[in-house]
Homo-oligomer: A and B are copies of this chain.
Amino acid sequence: MAGGSFPDFVEQVSLIDHHVHGAFHADGDEARFQNSLNEGNTEPLATPEDTYNTQIGLAIRRWCSGILDLPRHTSPADYWSRRSELGELEVCRRMTRAAGVSDWLIDTGLDAADYLGTAGMADVSAGRTHEIVRLERVAESVLREIANPADYVDAFGQRLHELTRSAVGVKTVLAYRAGFDQDLSRPSRAAVVEAARRWQENACAGIHPKLTDVTLIAHGIHTAVSRKLPLQFHVGFGDRDLDLHKTNPLYLLDFLRSPEVRDTPIMLLHCYPFEREAGYLAHAFENVYIDVGLAVNFTGSRSRALVARSFELAPFTKILYSSDALGPAELHYLGARLWRNAITKVVGGWIDDDDCSEADARKIVQLVAQDNARRVYALPSALHRGATVDR
């Protein structure tokens, strides 16, 4: 850890990306790439080229161009041309390796054939991968498979047990499915069976609806809680299907106060624009952790201010790094690149202002970059980045 300046240290520290998805592996058209630069819109974009007129568009042209051997601020047309020439998989290889990420914790809840899975991501990135299991997906698949709703509770528990033998954590998308302004107390077995019966009734004619029933979602959450696995909550910024104001994490207060939850790490993901509220929860509850992934990519040059806000009430032992990247591997790289830029300015600024010593600053960076994630998810020791990560 000695040697080199603080900016060098930030440049070289390996990251654990504790919430990410698979990258594209097969070539696609420009519209697919452009649409991937809009997180919010769930429909085909009328003017996809407008997605370059954004913070993320500027950031890609600034930071990703060099990885593709292009000059900074290259035009969108030249960028797309070079990207096509290299092919999706080569872009992916370059971007994921340039990210300096030792471990990717992959939410496989979206693993359509379009996205690399854990094995593919490990291979292309030369990093380690670990699985995060999405609770609602498990629930939906068990509901489809069982003949009798009375079997649901046991079947769900059994399936989760099997899946989390190798997985390092679970995730809930309650934010998308129902919002947080709900009763999240543990439902009774009878209530869960009744909810399973209702779901199956609605799933007639082979159409399986998305799971939006709060009883079933709360049951999934409490089943995970009883196993004390790190439990990720999507919080805040996401696509427009979500009622953003209902994903204020303060609505989770009653849930967090319940004694059975206190030994389960609760990971609040993304959080924008509720990062102050999330930081408060990380301050007030010893089992709550936060990150500002996803929003870092989409706010581009403004992510410095966002990262700064995440360092208010949350203890430094409770802040993690994530990209929440999905699709074009520019997102896997940019998350790390913008985080390093922000940390250099924010934490480096504390050194400059003598708010902390440089040794303190390095320790803080080390915690957020990897130590906190390794501890919470019980991951094996870091690769020595210089030796094993190809840059």
B-facing mask of A363-387, CB < 8 A → 1, else 0?
A: 0100100000000000000000000
Residues of B within 8 A of A84 (CB): none
Of A25-33, A51-59, A212-220, A227-235, the segment with at least 4 beta carbons within 8 Å of chain B is A51-59
Q: Which residues of B contact A309 (CB under 8 A)?
A: 302
Residues of B within 8 A of A51 (CB): 315
A9 adjacent to chain B (CB < 8 Å): no
A277 near B283 with CB under 8 A, answer no
> Given A312-B55, A315-B50, are A284 and B239 neighbors across the interface (CB < 8 Å)?
yes
One of A16-24, A109-117, A182-190, A242-250 at the interface: A242-250
> Is there an interface contact between A316 and B54, defined as CB atoms closer than 8 Å?
yes
Q: Note all chain B residues with C-beta closer than 8 A to A317.
A: 50, 53
Q: Do residues B244 and A41 form an inter-chain contact, with CB atoms below 8 A?
A: no
Q: How far is the CB of A67 from chain B (nearest CB, A)?
A: 16
Who on chain B is nearest to A273 by CB? B276
Inter-chain contacts of A58 with B (CB < 8 A): 350, 355-356, 360
Known: A55-B312, A354-B62. A280 touches B273 (CB 8 A): yes
With a 10 A CB-CB cut-off, give which of A41, A55, A257, A311 has the most chain B CB atoms.
A55
Given A243-B253, A253-B244, residue A283 in contact with residue B39 (CB < 8 A): yes
Mark the stretch among A166-174, A293-301, A321-329 that contacts chain B.
A293-301
Q: For residue A81, give the distance in angstroms from its CB to the closest CB of chain B.
A: 18
Docked-complex contact A283 and B40, CB < 8 angstroms: yes
The answer to whether residues A286 and B72 also contact, given A40-B280, A53-B367 and a CB cut-off of 8 A, is: no
Contact check, B311 vs A360: say whether CB atoms are below 8 A apart. no
Q: Does A47 contact B (CB under 8 A)?
A: yes
A248 contacts which of B240, B245, B286 (Cβ < 8 Å)? B245
Q: Is A353 an interface residue (CB 8 A)?
A: yes
> What size tier do the contact residues of chain A reach?
35 or more
Taking CB atoms and an 8 Å cut-off, the chain A residues in 252-273 that contact chain B are 253, 256-257, 272-273
Q: Could you tell me the distance in whole angstroms from the C-beta of A257 to the nearest C-beta in chain B? A: 7
Contact B312–A299 (Cβ < 8 Å): yes
Residues from chain B with a CB closer than 8 A to the CB of A245 are 248, 250-251, 253, 277
A79 within 8 A of B: no
Write the chain B residue with the least CB distance to A301. Answer: B355
CB contact under 8 A between A284 and B73, given known A53-B317, A276-B272, A355-B301? no
Q: Which residues of B contact A205 (CB under 8 A)?
A: none
Decide if A240 touches B73 in the complex (CB within 8 Å): no
Whether, in the assembled complex, A305 has its beta carbon less than 8 Å from a beta carbon of chain B, the answer is yes
Q: Which of A139-166 contact B (CB under 8 A)?
A: none
**8 A-B pairs with C-beta separation under 8 A:** A40-B313, A53-B315, A53-B367, A54-B283, A240-B253, A240-B284, A245-B277, A302-B308
Top 4 A-B pairs, shortest CB-CB distance: A40-B284, A273-B276, A240-B284, A301-B355
Q: A54-B283, A244-B250, A302-B308 are in contact. List 10 more A-B contacts (CB 8 A).
A: A39-B283, A50-B317, A53-B315, A53-B364, A72-B354, A72-B357, A73-B356, A240-B253, A301-B356, A305-B308
